[in-house]
Structure 1
Amino acid sequence: MSKKRKREVDVELVKVYEDLADEQENVRLAAAHTLLSKIYKPGITSHEQTKTILTRLFRGLCSSRKSARLGFSVALTELLSQLAAAPDVSPESHVSVSAVIDLLEAQTLPEKGTSGQDERDHYFGRVFGADAILKSGIVFGKKTDQSHFKRLLDIVCALAIKKPWLRQECGWVLYNCIVSDQDDLPESLSLHIIDKLVANKLIRTPEGVAIWLVASRRFPSVKLPKSTWKSGHPLVKKDVNILADILKDAKVQQEEGDSDLKSQGSARWSANLHFAWEVVLAETFRNTSRESGVRKDVKNSIRGDDKITFDLFWKVVVDESLFAPASSAERKSWGFSLWKKIFETAPPELLIYTFTPQATRCLANSLKSSERFLQRSAQRLSQVIQARLADTEPRDQRANLAATYVQALLQSVSVGDFDQITKSKTLQSLFEAKQTGVVEGISFALTDLLKRSSEEKEKKTTLLQQKTILNLQWKMISARLRRWEQIQMQQEGDIDETEKELVSSVLQSWLREVCISPTSNRLHNLNGEFLPEARDFAKERLSLAFEQALKLGSLGCWLLKHVLLHIRELEALNVQMSTAFEDDIKAIVETAWQNLANIQTNTQMSSTVDRAPAKASKTAVHVKVLSFPEGLSLLYSLLLFQIYSGETEAVQILQEVLENWSRRTDNQKSNASTDNGQVSADAIMEILLSFVSRPSKFMRRITIDIFDAFAPNITATGLEAMCRILETKENLQGQQEMFEAGDVENEDEEQLASESEMEGLDSDVELTSISESSQSAETTDSETDDESTDSQASAGEEEEEDAELAAFDAALASALGTRRLNQDDLDAASDASESSSDADMGDDEMMQLDSKLAEVFRARSEQQSKNKRKEAKEAKENIVNFKNRVLDLTESYFKHQQHNPLTMDLILPLLKLARTTQTKQLADRACNILQQFCSRCKGPNAPDLPSDCYSGHVIDVLKSIHEEAGMESSHAHSNAASLSSILVAKALVRANATNIKSIVEIYASTRLRQLTDKKCRVLPGFFTDWNNWCQSTREKLVG
């Protein structure tokens, strides 16, 4: 029996072929290097061995396994390059060019009956093989017959015609053949490529256009066939529509004489952008940027100004073609890819031409499209546009580009909120840009659109656009203020002065709309004519901007002052304000303006001392606190803003502030003690409490900042006003008592001034409204200002009471069988009462009337009961809200004044509040404030007690805390009492170690009460905390 001879396998060669298909590029390159350095050796490897290697490489190009085509293509190109570089090898080992092309055709020809996938793999292998032969330069040698190149060209063109879905790849091979650095490529071969494309009707394709353009640019002197294009060049202006059809791979409708040049449409769609677009774009860039319009094309005598410029190319080829309303999603995706490519490669001066209405409308629709592929294309484009905006230089060009972009986006959605409509963050990302030039452009665009909005004929449309633009301006301002805050926190340096002026200018434009009379014609050219509702909306956004600016500390204080001083500039220009003042009031306001202008504020970082925890703390928390002058600046700014906004009660408050400031200034001039300055701060405390009680977030925020600035100068008397509010009952009686107390204090203050002055003030504190009655009657559609809400609420309550009385009168009249009497009926009844006699009524009628009247009065009683319950509920909500605002002040005081001994006076009111309140939220918050304060006061961060006399007061506070701890209360209250007691003990020992004796006696007394008094409810944990503290303090006391 015969045995088969065992086949010998070259393990190294198998490993090389395996690695050529690897997905890692470095592995493929290493395998190709091994093949060409160890396995194939020029002059040594035989002819058969070389053909075997070539055959294996061509077969590898037909494999779809991993990255086989890439690896085998590199190896084949390098191998053929070595064959071309070594023409003197022996005939036994030489492989001719014709033999190589024969191998290409033979190895890439699919067998009959193969599957469709196998057929596609072989044709792809033919394209890669032809590309490798052309890249190797084996057909471009000086001694090489040009027939080899023509044969290879026939193969490529035949494949492009036979398989249109490979036409782009075949065109790419020929394009690279011309554009590559092959110095041996003669002009005749490039002309032959053009002739072959014309002959095969492939010239009017994207590939044909690209090859024509690159051939004409590389070989300017070559005479290309004139009959190919009507005007001798594919980029002539009058043939731009034909170019548009060619580039989007559509069949062009040809005239009768051009039947031989009919173009072919694509047989397939590819998500990747055709390479011809980049070639055409590069030409249009050059045509547009060319300075001289009289230059002519050397070969075709085409004037430079007759060629397509970029703006025309975008309008016809892209905007009216790819972004047409009837265009498919695939074509629109091409448009986005092309738009993206333009923003990556085009000169900056050409980018503004791309923001055409139809293109930006398509972008907006695609961002909110349900087609994920189109949506992702639009999102990638938005990211590229934003990145290009950041890189564009110089600054004015960047601002112009940003303005054009934002304006086009907003107009594409009828000046609506683009991000909200498209459910994206396109504009928000621009608002947060680091480059000031981008924000400048956005601000300019929004201002221009705001001015145009008044040109709308329909009032509803105008109002909607004005509110939308104002809201976008607010988003931009908010983003910039957040960035400023981030710069301060990270200490990245000073903020750009241009950006500060930009933010100020927007806020000043809102302030003009709030303060200037609508009938004034001056300065209307800046913002256009605002509707009353839009002015109210601008006032709301201005308050929100001021509120956010206050988070910046000194910088926010400067910004608020800088914006409000713009009113002074307007008054200097004799601009008519919406409010007019009597002479006395005008003098008060003028004094306030002078004081405000004289206060120096910091325009950069916070100017106050940053309080940080001691070294024992792991992290240093820096807290920004305003100085006393900055707090006074905020107070003046707030009151002046309220006065010019039409709030009359702010005038009297401003006068009180001026009087206090005058007394403080006089004391400083007379070298008085600091206590007088503190008296001034205590007087301002009542004003701050009136501010904080208002349901305005802006008022609460600015009040806290002013309070923090004045806190070092506030005495125990000022803090007592806060404590009284915390002790107020949370019912209708407590509300009445609180307001009665306020009235008594006001009466005491009035006695300080003469009666004649106050009477004059009462008569003069009237602000004359300049607004037209029709404008003041209109109300805004969105949320209204908090103060106007209060007045509307009170008016609504009066209307509700009138409605209840009317309903009662109607019910009573129905029971009596009459109707409601008017004034004429009452007069007639009065005249006839003396002459007419009363008609008698029967018993049954009287009983029936009694029952009806009883029913009416019963319903009236129920309604009154409901009203009382409603009033009680509202009173409780008001008191709870007021206490929460006072807790805001208390928490801020603990945070910024933790070394102040007056913090001891606030502990007991908080403990009482936590125990006595019926609102769980208040109790929990009071306990949390105490716990946080105690946790911060560790080591040297405890309050500093100034003297032994004051230590005696603090010992009394400690006794009161122990009394609170013995009251029946929640576990949270007991825990807060225990922590507070330890804190006070720390402060006493720190002030004087001998105070430990008094502390021990107090704890001993409390322990005795716990053991002997049933009413003492001190929890065991109270003494556990005491024992732990004693253990940790013993070493310090003994040492």
Structure 2
Amino acid sequence: MGKKRPREKAGALQDNPNAQPAKKSKKIPRTDLKPGSLIEKSLQNLSSAKVNVRIAAAEGLILATFAKESTNIHTVKDVLSKLLQGICSSQKTTRSGFFTALTEFLRQLYESDDQYGLALSISDLIDLVKKQSKLESQNEATDSQIGRVSAYAAIIRSSILFRSEASRQHGTKLLEDLFRLYTKSPSAREESAHLLVGCLKSAKGEARFLSEAVCQLDSNGLSKTPEGVTIWLTISSIEPKAKLPKGVWRHRDPLDSRERESISAILKEASVTGENAKCEATLSHSVNLAWDVVMLHMIQRLEQRKLSTETIIAFSKFWSDLVDVNMCAPSAPFHHKQASILISSKILSTCPNWVLPAIFSPNLMKFLGDQRNNTKQREHNPASIFLHAIEERARISPGDCVVLVSQLLQKDHTNFDQAMKFRVMERILVAADESSLLEISSVLEACLLRSEDRDSKSAATQRRWLADLIVVVVKSRTHIPSVSMDPGVNWLVCTLGILAKAAYLDEDKLDTIPNPNLSSETRSMFHTKLLTCLTHVVSAKSKENNAAYPYLMVNLFKPMLDVAGKTGIVASISDKEVRQLLQSSYSVLASITDAITSSQTDNSLTHQAFRLTMCFSIFQVYSGDVDAASVIEELISSWSPGENSPTYQSDVVSQLTEVTLSFVSRQSAVLRKVGEVVFTSFASNVGRDSLDALLAILQKSENLDGQNELFDADGGAEENDVGNVEIDLDVEVIGGPGNDSEDEASSDEEESEEGSATSSGSDGDEGPAEQESEGDQAELLKFDLLLADALKTGQDGEDDSDEDMDDEQMMALEPHLAKIFKERTKITSRKKENKDAKETILNFKNRVLDLLHIYVKQEHAKPLALDTISPLLRLIRTTTNRQTAEKGFACLKTYFDACKGKELPVPGEGEGIDLELLLAHIHEEASKDGSKMFSIACSRASLFVVRVLVHMDPANYARAVDVYAETQKKWFLDSKSKLQASFFTQWASWSVNSRKREQPWESKDGNTIASGDFNKV
């Protein structure tokens, strides 16, 4: 049978000419290893891509092979054969696993005197390696050569060459064959060099062997190759006694300064590795080992000296010669410049921090900037590699962020596109630790004041960019330093001080005179950024008293008010009354601070809000806002140290509410945020008078009459005033898409209702708009009638006389026409005033809704919050702006959602809140015409009040039924009623769902009523 099979295959091939002959498989020596055994599994796992799996497999293989009870010559021989086969694999990870295993295998094998019966000499082992790595085909040449080098490296690393004098003699034979391979196969040199450098380190102390290695290197003409330099430097560093050939390098040192030109040319050959290395956009190659070794040895040599300026200069010169000039000169090929990025990125990630400034060399940074601005190469951009390395360095070594920031802010590096540079700087600053931030603040201040751009416009752009970075620094920190920390070491105080001084101080009072000068627009920008940072710090959640930071910033300028004459403040406060007012404000601030320290918790919150308001008002005065002086005067007059009566507390909160409204009434995003922060600080102390003042604004008509009611004659200019706010940066746009609407939803039913509400929110908005349009048309018709009467023409198309007017008739008509067109101009002007007034009122209402949103979210459990329901419903129905209606709806939704569970308000008898009357008012409001949003809001508000009633006493459910029954009776009898039928179906659904409780409700008078869950809407 065994003889017939070849003939059958041959016959089949003859019968089927298209049949493919069987591939000739590589002969594998017979093995006694059993499938599924530990040794077999370990050999398979040596090819794993995971390092830990390969290491475990190597350990398991050695233990299983050399176990005392089972070790035999056949097993040892078969395992050695397998390891030599595996080390010649074409896969790098496979070679790595088999290299580790072979190294330990040889060490264990030769530690045994009889080698477990194998009797394999070093010479026989070298011959066996040659036999196993014999070339089968031309395609396998590189893999076989690397495999042979790997096997030789394993022999060296296992130290079996150095066990005796006889074994040392075989080292020469190994080295001869090793460097012969280097000469024949340049493509395998670099990987072979990696292996050889690693194993040579294990031969430390073997001076003769290492000397022989250098001699073989030189005799094969490899000394002045990248791999030759690598091996030369490695041997000279690990064994100073090694005999190095003369005449190759000056002083036998490749890093000698007189060999700089030679080493530069050699390293240029080793720019990148791999095939197609000169192809543009090929960034997947690794840096040649020669670069790593050369840079490492140079850094180590310099560090052996005393670190000084001369040492840093020496490395900078070295880097410039080898990388910046050699690889990145303007005339250098693109692939050399691209390789320099890989080299720089690699060194950047591992070098000591004193080396970092040298890496940011001029030619390299210019090339990086050009590449970042290259729109044709956005993907796989070379600059991205270097910038990513910077970010990683900052993340791993936060203490090096100071050097990175300093280098990126230099003039030579400004050709980066601003967006990319800002992103990198942002990530560096976020990674920086607090000690680094303290130093970085000094760097930012120097760049901010002494701009390298002489052009004032460019300098203003750079200063805005730096101010944005400062805001990023402040907003990115999760930990706010304690205000009790020494200001000299508090990075936040120093950073905020940069903005404050640049915003308010005269240039001659600054530590560094700005160049170019700070413009008024730039100072206004710094003022805005300062308030942005302070509002963030105050509103940040922290155990520290963050509200004290504005007080610390204000105190920076207190000494200047005590100086006679010029104060040093840019704003015009030389007026004696203003100066005295500010001095009084500082006295009040000191008194408030003492009161905060000594008062109880409730009063402390009011005092902190008072101090916060005073500080922000002072900042407004410093920025040139003259109206803020009157605010400070009112605050001073309302402060009474030691007074803690409820009436006084109420008056203080009312005063703070008025100031808050003055902040949010401005068309300024930052002042709006200031108002919200101030209001949040005293929202828990808001009483009925203050809340009514907010709610009253929502009921004002959205026209010129409503504006006149809100603002007196002196404040008429205030509604359109943007303060000293930066144009296009801080002015809010009215009527834009709302960005404050809530995203939360409590149930699928609510989500669908709210979606319908917002989509149809404009259903009820057409009436006022149509009325306004009709009014405009009436005015135009009146104008046409006057004009027609003046011209003696009719509106019904009556025929005119055939004769034209003469000059006298025209002259007589001219006064009448001038009067008519003057009236027309008044109509147009009045129309614009009405439009502006409407926008002002809508903006004010939106800002008040923001404050109410804060109040109901923070104080939802207080009965006083129930007073917001009816005004908000009326606002949703009557407003002419959809965004305002949506904000009102969102405010109610936030209130109702916050009261879920058991956190419901429970009005007391003396609080003047009649819930049944409130429920009746809601039903009356729901009967009026409005949008679908309004209908949903009324239904939810009604059910919420019922929840509160039943929560107080389950017997109140009957009273709620009576109110709903009366409303339904009116709805049924009135065919024109605008009340939606869903108002009653939702009430019925709520009642049904509320009965699903296991225990019946028991009223306060002891009567048991129907069970129900009254805690959910």
Alignment of 1:276-425 (within 5 A): 276-291=290-305, 310-328=315-333, 330-332=335-337, 334-343=339-348, 345-365=350-370, 370=377, 372=380, 374-375=382-383, 377-390=385-398, 398=399, 401-411=400-410, 414-415=413-414, 420-422=418-420, 425=423
Contact 1:19 1:28 in 2 (8 A): yes
Relative distance call for 1:214 and 1:947 in structure 2 (3 A) is same
What's 2:436 paired with? 438
Name 2:222's counterpart in structure 1.
Answer: 202
Shift of 1:595: 0.8
The within-5 A match list for 1:115-126 is 115=138, 117-126=139-148
Given candidates 622, 633, 649, the residue that maps to 2:611 is 633
Native 8 Å contact 1:164 1:267 kept in 2: no
Percent identical residues: 26
C-alpha RMSD of the superposition: 4.7
The structure 1 residue matched to 2:675, chosen from 698, 703, 717, is 703
Give secondary structure in 1 for the equivalent of 2:135.
Answer: coil
In the other structure, the counterpart of 2:1001 is 1035
Query: Offset at 1:628?
Result: 0.7
Of 153, 170, 175, the match for 1:153: 175
Tell me the amino acid that sits aligned with residue 783 of structure 1: D
Amino acid at match of 2:323: V
Structure 1 residue 142 displacement after superposition: 2.4
**Contact 1:908–1:961, Cα closer than 8 Å, also in 2:** yes
TM-superposition CA deviations, 1:205-255 (whole Å, max 9, x none): 23323333333334333442332212332222332332233333379xxxx
Cα deviation for residue 154 of structure 1 reads: 2.0
The structure 2 residue matched to 1:884, chosen from 835, 839, 846, is 846
The one-letter amino acid of 2:917's match is D
Counterpart secondary structure, 2:223? coil
Q: Measure the CA separation in 2 of the matches of 1:272 and 1:1027.
A: 73
Amino acid of the structure 2 residue aligned with 1:445: V
* Deviation readout 1:571-592 (Å, 9 max, x if unpaired): 3466432323433343333222
Measured at CA, do residues 714 and 472 of structure 1 come closer, stay the same or move farther in structure 2, by a change above 3 Å? closer
Shift of 1:678: 1.8
1:878–1:240: structure 2 CA closer, same or farther, 3 Å change rule?
A: same
Deviations 1:130-185 (A, max 9, x none): 323333445444252655332322222222112222223444454345321476x4
Following TM superposition, by how much is the alpha carbon of 1:632 offset from its aligned partner in structure 2, in angstroms? Answer: 0.8
Kindly tell me: are residues 556 and 69 of structure 1, through their superposed partners in 2, closer, same or farther at Cα, counting changes over 3 Å? Answer: closer
State whether structure 2 residue 587 is matched by structure 1 residue 594.
Answer: yes
Partner of 2:43: 20
After superposition, the C-alpha distances for 1:277-304 in whole angstroms (9 at most, x for unaligned) are: 44434432332223479xxxxxxxxxxx
- How many residues are paired up? 882
Partners of 1:41 and 1:874 in 2: CA distance: 98
Instruction: Output the amino acid matched with 1:1035.
Output: W
| Partners of 1:985 and 1:867 in 2: CA distance | 50
**Deviation of residue 456 (structure 1)?**
4.8
In 2: Cα distance, 1:246 partner to 1:326 partner: 18
Moved more, 456-465 or 724-733: 456-465
Query: Aligned partner of 1:69: which letter?
Result: R
5+ residue gaps, structure 2, are: 7-26, 49-53, 279-283, 735-802, 1009-1017
Partner residue of 1:692? 664
Contact 1:511 1:539 in 2 (8 A): yes
**Secondary structure at 1:507 match in 2:** helix
Tell me: CA distance 1:380–1:155, structure 2 relative to 1, closer, same or farther (3 Å).
Answer: farther
CA distance in 1, matches of 2:433, 2:217: 50
Distance 1:308 1:525 in 2: 30
Which residue pairs with 1:127 in the alignment?
A: 149
Counterpart of 1:195 in 2: which secondary structure?
helix
1:232 aligns with 2:249: no
Kindly indicate whether residue 3 of structure 2 is the aligned counterpart of residue 3 of structure 1: yes
Q: Cα deviations across residues 842-887 of structure 1 (Å, max 9, x unaligned)?
A: 9633466689999988877766655444333322222222211222
Equivalent residue number for residue 558 of structure 2: 568
CA displacement at 1:535 relative to structure 2: 1.9
1:430–1:695 distance in 2 versus 1, CA, 3 Å: same
- Asked if structure 1 preserves the Cα contact closer than 8 Å seen for 2:454 and 2:516, the reply is no
**CA-CA distance at 1:511 after TM superposition:** 2.3
Amino acid at match of 1:567: F
Measured in 2, the distance between the counterparts of 1:268 and 1:552 equals 52
Counterpart position of 2:518: 530
* Aligned residue runs from structure 1 range 862-877, under 5 A: 866-877=828-839
Kindly provide the CA deviation profile for residues 420-445 of structure 1, in whole angstroms up to 9, marking residues without a partner as x: 34367321112212611232232222
- Superposed counterparts of 1:892-931, under 5 Å: 892-931=854-893
Structure 1 position 603, deviation (Å): 11
Contact kept? 2:344, 2:386, Cα under 8 Å: no
Structure 1 gaps, min length 5: 252-263, 294-304, 391-397, 488-492, 610-624, 747-775, 790-840
* Structure 1 Cα separation of the partners of residues 159 and 849 of structure 2: 85
Asked if structure 1 preserves the Cα contact closer than 8 Å seen for 2:394 and 2:428, the reply is yes
Distance apart, 1:695 and its partner CA: 0.7
Aligned equivalents of 2:300 and 2:712: distance in 1?
A: 83
Secondary structure, aligned partner of 1:203: coil
CA distance in 2, matches of 1:1010, 1:389: 73
* Corresponding residue for residue 646 of structure 1: 624
Aligned-partner SS, 2:164: coil
Which stretch shifts more, 723-732 or 843-852? Answer: 843-852
Q: Distance in 1 between matches of 2:2 and 2:653?
A: 118
Residue pair 1:277, 1:338 contacting (<8 A) in 2 also = yes
Deviation, 1:1035, is 0.9
For 2:274 and 2:1001, the matched residues in 1 are separated by: 94
Q: Contact (CA 8 Å) 1:21, 1:68: kept in 2 or not? A: no
CA distance in 2, matches of 1:949, 1:83: 94
Q: Is the 8 A contact 2:217 2:223 kept in 1?
A: yes
Q: Structure 1: how far apart are the matches of 2:276 and 2:896?
A: 78
Q: 1:653 corresponds to which letter in structure 2?
A: V
Superposition pairs of residues 604-615 of structure 1, within 5 angstroms: none
Q: Does 1:463 align with 2:460?
A: yes
Q: Distance in 2 between matches of 1:873 and 1:357?
A: 57
Partner of 2:288: 274
- Confirm or deny that 1:508 pairs with 2:531: no
| Residue in 1 that maps onto 2:1014 | none
Q: Distance between the aligned counterparts of 1:949 and 1:870, measured in 2?
A: 45
Corresponding residue for 2:528?
540
TM norm structure 2 = 0.75
The 2-side partners of 1:292 and 1:655 are apart by 63
Question: What letter corresponds to residue 98 of structure 1 in structure 2?
Answer: S
Checking the alignment, whether the CA contact within 8 Å between 1:533 and 1:781 is kept in structure 2 is yes
Shift of 1:1027: 5.4
Contact kept, 8 Å, 2:524 with 2:623, in 1: the verdict is no
Residue 889 of structure 1, CA deviation:
2.3
SS of structure 2 residue aligned to 1:600 = helix
Query: How far did 1:781 drift?
Result: 9.2
The answer to whether the 8 Å contact 2:422/2:469 transfers is no
CA distance in 1, matches of 2:922, 2:354: 74
Note closer, same or farther for the CA distance 1:849–1:321 as it changes in structure 2 (3 Å cut). same
Task: Answer whether contact 1:157 1:170 (CA < 8 A) is retained.
Answer: no
Question: Alpha carbons of 1:136 and 1:1036: their partners in 2 closer, same or farther (altered >3 Å)?
Answer: same
Instruction: Go from structure 1 to structure 2 and tell me whether the alpha carbon gap of 1:498 and 1:568 turns closer, same or farther (over 3 Å shift).
Output: closer
Residue 582 of structure 1: aligned partner = 575
Instruction: Give the 3 Å change call, closer, same or farther, for CA 384–181 of structure 1 in structure 2.
Output: farther
CA distance in 2, matches of 1:144, 1:503: 71
